[in-house]
Amino acid sequence: MDSTTTITPLGGDVYEIDTRMAGYTGIMAAYLILSDRPCLVEPGTAGSAPVVRRALAELGVGPADLATVVVTHIHLDHAGGVGDIAESYPGAEVVVHEKGARHLASPERLMRSARMVYGDSLDTLFGELKPTEAARIRAVEDTGVIDLGGGRRLESHHSPGHAKHHVGLLDSRTGDLYVGDAAGVYIPETADVRPATPPPDFDLETALRSLRKFRDLGPQRLLFAHYGPVTAVDDTLERSAEELRVWVDAVSDARDQDLDLDHAVAMVKERTDARYALTRDGDPELVAKYEVLNGAEGNVAGIMHALNRHA
Ligand SMILES: [Zn+2]
């Protein structure tokens, strides 16, 4: 593996780490804040743990040095590696929203339902989330603070909508906002923003409220888990909201026509594909990569689930 492309310095002692999720490059980013109390924002999958450990070693962070591991939410692409990383860095506190905390301590139920959704591909995509000792987990509620050392803080802000246990994280020094999946997926190759609306938690109004909360925090830069930094903060957050509305409208029409999931997906794709350079220009490799991460079927199913709940 070419280590020079794994770590990208972003300024402000922040480093983007390509976790090489399921062997793909540029699909899932972890971030290391190399402050006095180093903090890893999302380890990525269990399968990525060796990549992340190697990156931390290259950045000079040894087993005793990591102070915090924080996850924006407990989906396996973000948090699947928490148990492995916690084991390798025994001094690190694990920070997570209170609605996700018990799943990191006892992942059995989470893994069972993930297995139902992904089947055998669970192992190649994510691997197995290992439990973390409950004593090392700190649950945050509506807001929370992570001490980065030297007066620098990372503030968590509950931001449900994509998932009920989702938080955004604001760096007091740089103004970076780690948006997780709450603002959807940013595709750096094409500068597209696509929605991320999986079942069972997705809720439009809740998600839009979280995006307004993000805007009101006045961040300087957005750091997407999928994928990378974006400095056009307001435009991008507006685009995220618009994407949600467009997809919910499309799925709502499909539902009014009583379409089954396959036909609903086909209709939504037909209505939305032209919005994205990704699907307009159709680099097949890139399309396939993002279908793995953020498939239309999962998004449509999540919106359908939400509409049925409200009906
Ligand atoms: Zn994700």
Distance 79 CA to ligand 1 centre (A): 9
Residue 255 lies in a domain: no
Residue 213 lies in a domain: yes
- Report the pLDDT value the prediction gives residue 282, as an integer from 0 to 100: 76
Residue 292 lies in a domain: no
H or E segment to which residue 69 belongs: strand 68-70
pLDDT grade for 161, boundaries at 50, 70 and 90: very high
Q: What average pLDDT does range 6-15 have in this prediction?
A: 97
Quickly count: other Cβ atoms within 10 Å of residue 274's Cβ. Answer: 9
Residue carrying the six token digits 């994928």:
227
Residues near 78 by beta carbon (within 8 Å), at least 6 away in sequence: 28, 42, 44, 71, 72, 180, 181, 225
pLDDT tens track for 42-82: 999 999 999 999 999 999 999 999 999 999 999 999 999 99
Distance 24 CA to ligand 1 centre (A): 14
Q: Which domain holds residue 40?
A: 6-233
Distance 77 CA to ligand 1 centre (A): 5
Quickly count: other Cβ atoms within 10 Å of residue 247's Cβ. Answer: 24
Distance 89 CA to ligand 1 centre (A): 23
Distance 250 CA to ligand 1 centre (A): 22
Q: Which two tokens stand for residue 49?
A: 């743990």
Distance 266 CA to ligand 1 centre (A): 23
pLDDT grade for 1, boundaries at 50, 70 and 90: very low
> What's the structural domain count of the chain?
1
- Report the pLDDT value the prediction gives residue 3, as an integer from 0 to 100: 45
φ/ψ of 38, rounded to 5, equals -60, 140
CA distances from 148 to 34, 102, 171, 182 (A): 9, 24, 9, 23
Distance 224 CA to ligand 1 centre (A): 9
Residue 52 lies in a domain: yes
Residue type, 239: R
Distance CA(39)–CA(171), nearest Å, equals 11
Residue 282 lies in a domain: no
Distance CA(117)–CA(289), nearest Å, equals 19
Q: What average pLDDT does range 166-182 have in this prediction?
A: 98
Distance 257 CA to ligand 1 centre (A): 30
Cα 280 from chain centroid (whole Å) = 25
Residue 130 lies in a domain: yes
Strand partners, 9: 15
Distance 180 CA to ligand 1 centre (A): 7
Give me the CATH number covering residue 15: 3.60.15.10
Residue carrying the six token digits 């962070």:
61
CB 37 within 8 A of CB 22: no
Whether 269 has a pLDDT exceeding 60, the answer reads: yes
Distance 152 CA to ligand 1 centre (A): 26
Distance 207 CA to ligand 1 centre (A): 15
Dihedral class, residue 193 (left if φ above 0, else alpha if ψ from -120 to 50, else beta): beta
Distance 37 CA to ligand 1 centre (A): 26
Distance 302 CA to ligand 1 centre (A): 14
Distance CA(182)–CA(207), nearest Å, equals 7
Distance 287 CA to ligand 1 centre (A): 17
Q: Calculate what percentage of the chain has a pLDDT beyond 90.
A: 93
Residue 274 lies in a domain: no
Quickly count: other Cβ atoms within 10 Å of residue 149's Cβ. Answer: 13
Distance 23 CA to ligand 1 centre (A): 16
pLDDT grade for 117, boundaries at 50, 70 and 90: confident
Residue 96 lies in a domain: yes
Burial of 136 from C-beta contacts in 10 A (0-12 / 13-18 / 19+): middle
pLDDT grade for 311, boundaries at 50, 70 and 90: confident
Beta strands in 164-283 (DSSP E): 167-171, 176-180, 185-187, 192-194, 221-224, 228-230
- Report the pLDDT value the prediction gives residue 236, as an integer from 0 to 100: 98
Distance 167 CA to ligand 1 centre (A): 13
Distance 230 CA to ligand 1 centre (A): 17
Q: Average per-residue pLDDT in the chain?
A: 96
Q: What average pLDDT does range 100-113 have in this prediction?
A: 97
